[in-house]
Amino acid sequence: MSRAEEAAVVIVGAGISGLTCLWRLRQAGVDAICLEESERVGGALSSRRADGFLVEAGATTVLETPELVRLAEEAGLEGEIVRSERGLPRFILRHGVLHPLPRGLVPLLRTGLLSKRGKLRLLAERWAPRRAEAGDDSVASFVRRRFGAEAVEAFVAPFVAGTFGGVPEGLGARAVLPALVELEDRFGGVMLGLLRSAGTRGPSALRTLVSFRDGLESLPRQLSERLGERIRLGTAVEAIGREPTGGDWLWLKTRRRGDITTVRTRAVIVAVPACVAARLVDALAPGAASALAELESVPLATVSVAWPRADVRHSLRGLGFLVSPGERVRILGCLWPSSLLPGRAPEGWASFTAFVGGARDPEGASLGDDRLVETVRADLGNTLDITGPPRVLSIDRYPRALPQYAPGHAQRVENARAAIASAPGLFLAGNYLGGVSVGECVRQASEVAAAVAEQVN
């Protein structure tokens, strides 16, 4: 069966980027709909309760941003927001020891993460040479040049593994560390730039981690309930094209349970992973498709487990830990949900979410369930002094979990944007464009929606 319909704007993908676009467009009075191939909204935001535990299958917590909190409040979740305790330490596993991440100069001078020589090299950053050639350093080469090789291993490698699932050699400094690169460009060095711009920079307080009483999926779920029939699940978009007569109208060929529908529209926002977006925009913007096809992602497995609190000798006073390269563990890091936020585990239990895979260990994400659990049990048991077998709460796998901002990423994104701009009515949204965090996705999607609303209105 085939039929046709019309909407002013069509959004492809009901992850947090697509839902934010739809919410903002409906606020602006635009006739917009959102099409999602799967049978649920939220993408990587997936929360579930089981026997008193709250498990996050994808993102576990997010940094609080004004855009994220405003969206949650507009959706009616202001009373459901929960925040981590400010100032909880973060740890890095290095040389077999959990070291608290130093905050400030005195803790940095005392930390065991760096040798005395490594500390002196880091403090000598002011005299390090700036990059002589134009282009985009890798994160590793930028940090090594400015702060020394030990800083890469001790601080940066664990950070990029935990945030991007990546390795410092495979990520671009301008995309991953834009503020530090800008300081070098403007002032010749990072420390010097921080000193000279101290009066113009915002507050330096650490941002709080935020979630909801029933998990991060509460946000897409609540948006979906408010948006109702404007979201169509189980609807695959097979092609996007322009009306044969030209002009401003586009069309989408969609399939749902064997039924084919052609939707005419003034604008399409493609809010799906880069590899899917490349296929969808190829007919209208082949240059954008080529640029998007170059953006790679890495696989990741998340393993959520729990132990009776009495079996865990570590204090668990903190957020969790990341792992430096070369340690005798396979996991990339571990969060401690029951220490972070209320209601994550029953009384007398401690819960953990460990991450395996990424660019450092791509084969790890495809280990069988038993091997994954045994890996996590051994690594956490040795690191946190835990005895006994864990209770397995969830194992979730993401073949394309996190986009890799490789050197030259900003230029590839700019190429994609320029090519999309030559195809009137076509727009992009997603975490591969300039920020993998949920808050950044909300901010960017709001900007896209504002641009689309201006065009169609």
Strands (E), 128-284: 209-212, 231-232, 236-242, 250-256, 259-270
Residue 334 and residue 224 in one domain: no
Residue 152 and residue 191 in one domain: yes
What is the model's pLDDT at position 205?
Answer: 44
CATH number at residue 212: 3.90.660.20
Q: Per the domain annotation, does 244 fall within a domain? A: yes
Measure Cα distances from 169 to 176, 268, 274, 329 in Å: 12, 36, 22, 21
Residue 187 and residue 211 in one domain: no
Residue 170 and residue 119 in one domain: yes
Q: Per the domain annotation, does 433 fall within a domain? A: yes
Query: Using an 8 Å Cβ cutoff, are 424 and 248 in contact?
Result: yes
Measure Cα distances from 193 to 104, 178, 198, 200 in Å: 17, 13, 8, 11
What is the model's pLDDT at position 434?
Answer: 84
Q: Per the domain annotation, does 201 fall within a domain? A: no
Residue 291 and residue 427 in one domain: yes
Residue 289 and residue 301 in one domain: no
Residue 410 and residue 335 in one domain: no
What is the model's pLDDT at position 87?
Answer: 87
What is the model's pLDDT at position 204?
Answer: 39
What is the model's pLDDT at position 272?
Answer: 97
Q: Which two tokens stand for residue 438?
A: 């949920």
Question: What span, in angstroms and rounded, lies between the C-alpha atoms of 3 and 261?
Answer: 5
Residue 421 and residue 446 in one domain: yes
CATH number at residue 180: 1.10.3110.10
What's the domain range around 395?
A: 46-102+206-216+297-403
* Gyration radius (Cα) of the chain, Å: 23
Residue 391 and residue 301 in one domain: yes
Question: What is the total count of domains within the chain?
Answer: 3
Residue by residue, pLDDT tens for the chain (457 residues) are 567 899 999 999 999 999 999 999 999 999 999 999 999 999 989 999 989 999 999 888 899 999 999 999 999 999 999 999 988 999 999 999 999 999 888 999 999 999 999 999 999 998 998 877 777 899 999 999 999 999 999 999 999 999 999 999 999 999 999 999 999 999 889 988 888 876 554 443 456 899 999 999 999 999 999 999 999 999 999 999 998 876 789 999 999 988 999 999 999 999 999 999 999 999 999 999 999 999 999 999 999 999 999 999 999 999 999 999 999 999 999 999 999 999 999 999 999 999 999 999 999 999 999 999 999 999 999 999 999 999 999 999 999 989 999 999 989 999 999 999 999 999 999 999 988 899 999 999 999 999 999 998 8
281 backbone φψ class: left, alpha, beta (φ>0; ψ -120 to 50): alpha
Q: Per the domain annotation, does 321 fall within a domain? A: yes
- Kindly report the pTM of this predicted structure: 0.92
Residue 153 and residue 291 in one domain: no
Q: Per the domain annotation, does 118 fall within a domain? A: yes
